[in-house]
Amino acid sequence: MTEAATTAAAVLPLWLEIIVAVLVLAGAGLALLGSTGLLRLPTFFERVHAPAIIATLGCWLIMHGTVLYFSVADRSLALHALLIAVFVAITVPIMSIFLMRAALFRARQMGLDVPPSLSQPKAPAEPAEAKDS
């Protein structure tokens, strides 16, 4: 461990503390905004987008603040937070797709008005002569 890491608090320049604080607070604010979307939006398909998109952006802002802080405090490039943000950026869209597909399947089973499945083959169209006779 470096000397800066063993002290109670690393002394950073004021401009850097301001940048880190703005990044972390903006990320936390966006995560909160995405969480309120769960309460405010009326349907599941609208609610699933708020935390998936906005909270992921909040995670990236917090990650940038973390990398900046620990890189300057330890005097070496600290990319450990980048791994967390990449994991979130990969898993959140996949999880959202699976949840939306499951919800669409369930809505179709219940007979609700949702878009038709694109994976089901369409019924063959009747020839024009058969319709006229």
What pLDDT, on a 0 to 100 scale, did the predictor assign at position 79? Answer: 86
Residues 91/56, Cβ–Cβ less than 8 Å: no
pLDDT in tens, 63-76: 999 999 999 988 88
Tokens 């995405």 belong to which residue? 34
> Is the pLDDT higher at 122 or at 68?
68
Confidence (pLDDT) at 64: 94
Residue 35 is encoded by which pair of tokens?
């969480």
Cβ 59 vs Cβ 27: under 8 Å: yes
Distances (CA, A) of 105 to 35, 41, 101: 25, 21, 6
pLDDT tens digits for 35-70?
A: 888 888 888 888 888 778 888 899 899 999 999 999
